[in-house]
Amino acid sequence: MNSLINLKRYIKKYQYELITGVFALTLTDALGLLPPWFIKLAIDFIGKSKKTPREGLNPLIQYSAFIVTAVGLQAVFRYYWRKYLFGISRKVEYDLRNDYFKHLQRLHWGFFQYTRTGDIMSRATNDLQAVREFLGIGSVIIVDTTLIISTCLILMIIISPKLTIISLLPMSLVSFLVLKFSREIRKRFESVQRQLSEISSMVHENMAGIRVIQAYVQEANELKRFKRLNSELIDKNLELTRMSGSFFPLMVLTTGLATALLLWIGGREVMSGHLTLGSYVAFNGYLAMLTWPVAAIGYMINLTQRGVASMKRIEETMNVKNEIYDIYLPESPFKKGWPHKSHNSNKEDEVKFSGEIEFKSLTFSYNGRENILSDINLKIRAGSSLAIAGGVGSGKSTLIKLIPRIYNPPDNSIFLDGVDIKRIPLKRLREIVGYVEQEPFLFSDTVRENIIFGMRDVTDEDIRKVVVIAGLERDMEIFPDGLDTVIGERGVTLSGGQKQRVAIARAIMKIPKILILDDSFSNLDAYTEERVFTNIRDSLKDLSSNSFIVDTTIILISHRFSTIKNADIIVVMDNGRIVEIGTHDELISKAGLYQRIYKKQVFAEMEIVEE
């Protein structure tokens, strides 16, 4: 229940609408209690009246008018409670979904490496719907059951305490049924939600990897797997349905037993003259009104257990702590609330960076396990280009991912212009870093929107410049709609090399102070790779239409020496350590790892040419 209690901060935002809705629902229920009482008065009047039909007409008209008025007002107030109480559930769902998505956007990359996308999606859809249903119909049932049961019992006691006790004897079964069934319903619903997550994950993976599935002719196997998961979902849903299906009839059975007892004993009371016919009819009406709240208790228990299970799953994600966050230390040039507005300008004051990066005795490991990087000491001049070479698993990608804090480096180990990067606001740090992965992600949109991703006030001339720098100008000529060509989900209509160059253009469009290219030319031929790298190195100094000058620090990982050799400085890594550093000519003249890798690649290329 603690999970549902945590919803109060969302509900509090709409407290006035909640009060209005509850007030309208209270009046609706109160007005619903009047017709049985007016019917009682009318029947008793008819039984006792010795007037002529014409003389007794006025009181009957009055009772009828009271009933019609009560029902009419009930209809008006029913509209308002449905508007406000159901409306609040939709608004809370809206706020909760926004917070959930906002939290996901801020979580570190590691969370998404170990959490399936289908599971995340299931919590954002199926579980949020269960919470909304609890807040909507669940809140109505709580008010209904509390008000109707208490008021009906009072009126029934006023009419006949004896019949009230007898009628409520079967109702004692309710508490037993609630205790027995509620826990099982929650367990089975949690099992259903977990299975839904499994199916969502499987469908997401299949749609993303459909080309691999078709290429390996695995359609039949994947269909078998889906049928198995779907069959398990049906079985678990049937288990939940059987439990719920047993619960509700038993709840209604208790009211049926109460009605049977009332007919037998109440009828005898009327026949013996201890109870008027009008009182009996009214009592029967109030007992009938108890049928819905008593049955609704079971439905509410079902909704509550579903809501608890779903909110618990949502909170599991919401409670995941972001491992990458802003740290503001007293000696930091940045303070909480930065950036601030200047009194003399509409532009935000910014701390300017030149792009100098320094690693000081950096040692890094994932979750305290074996060190991936050990004792890294390196200084990269602002505006220079650095290439990192080394074998697979040598720590190249890990090293550069620490710069934009994709992973958290130790304190005082990486400095940007002399400032520990952990003291720089994360938003500001990533604004000045352009990062391109080996397998870039493209959105299901046009080439243009992928290049200007998140940017405004970008001219066609700006886009044209980055297209040329990224070596995409010829591709734009063959695309059916040029820059406005829709590239499909994850850029499915593009080749590997085109995807990489679109991602490079997107990074360049930021005009970053630091550009990181993590094996981003792997799908390009050697000539195109060298040409694009040269374009990037030479063209970033005067890119934007307002002639903003920027000296970009470029960090490159590549396995082709034809590109690496053009960097100002080359670092060679092995087993998480820097083993060599220098220019291409300096390293090639030494009998070290760089020379061995270089000769191996040259000989391999010569063999290919000979063949």
Q: The tokens of 324 are what?
A: 């990458």
Say if strands 419-420 and 414-416 run parallel, antiparallel, or are unpaired: antiparallel
d(CA 350, CA 348): 6
- Residue intervals of the chain classified under CATH 1.20.1560.10 are 2-318
DSSP string, 37-58: HHHHHHHHHHHH--S-TTTTHH
Using only C-alpha atoms, what is the Rg of the chain? 36
Please state the length of the chain. Answer: 611
- pLDDT digits 0-9 by tens, 494-507: 888 888 999 999 99
d(CA 419, CA 401): 18
Task: Tell me if 276 sits within 8 A of 47, measured CB to CB.
Answer: yes
Say if strands 553-557 and 385-390 run parallel, antiparallel, or are unpaired: parallel
CB burial readout 169-198, b (16+ within 10 A) else e = ebbeebeebbeebbebbbebbbbbbebbbb
Q: The tokens of 596 are what?
A: 């061995």
Q: Is 567 helix (H, G, I), strand (E, B) or coil?
A: coil
d(CA 597, CA 579): 13
User: For position 514, what pLDDT does the model report?
Assistant: 93
CA-based nearest residue to 480, from 494, 490, 468, 466: 494
As to burial, measured by CB atoms within 10 angstroms (0-12 exposed, 13-18 middle, 19+ buried), residue 12 is exposed
Q: Is 572 helix (H, G, I), strand (E, B) or coil?
A: strand
Say if strands 419-420 and 569-574 run parallel, antiparallel, or are unpaired: unpaired
Cis preceding-peptide flag for 161 (omega within 30 of 0): no
Task: Tell me if 4 sits within 8 A of 134, measured CB to CB.
Answer: yes
User: For position 270, what pLDDT does the model report?
Assistant: 79
- pLDDT digits 0-9 by tens, 330-351: 555 555 444 433 333 344 445 6
CATH (residue range 2-318): 1.20.1560.10
C-beta pairs of 200-204 under 8 Å, 24+ apart in sequence? 200/118, 200/119, 200/121, 200/122, 201/116, 201/117, 201/118, 201/119, 202/118, 202/226, 202/229, 203/118, 204/116, 204/117, 204/118, 204/121
User: For position 611, what pLDDT does the model report?
Assistant: 53
- H or E element, residue 581: strand 577-582
Residue 556 β-bridge partners:
387, 517
Q: The tokens of 577 are what?
A: 């350590």
Residues of the chain with pLDDT under 50: 56, 336-349, 544-549
Give the amino acid at 226. F
Average pLDDT, the chain: 81
Give the amino acid at 467. V
- Residue intervals of the chain classified under CATH 3.40.50.300 are 357-438+513-610
CA-based nearest residue to 314, from 127, 189, 130: 127
d(CA 550, CA 353): 10
Task: Tell me if 514 sits within 8 A of 552, measured CB to CB.
Answer: yes
> What's the fold here for domain 357-438+513-610?
Rossmann fold (3.40.50)
Find all residues with CB under 8 Å of 34, minimum gap 6, and list them: 66, 67, 70
Q: Is 556 helix (H, G, I), strand (E, B) or coil?
A: strand
% of the chain at pLDDT higher than 90: 16
DSSP symbol at 134: I
Task: Tell me if 484 sits within 8 A of 450, measured CB to CB.
Answer: no
d(CA 307, CA 10): 15
d(CA 132, CA 128): 6
Task: Tell me if 151 sits within 8 A of 30, measured CB to CB.
Answer: yes
Q: Is 496 helix (H, G, I), strand (E, B) or coil?
A: helix
CA-based nearest residue to 390, from 230, 587, 217: 587
d(CA 377, CA 593): 19
Cα 567 → chain centroid = 42
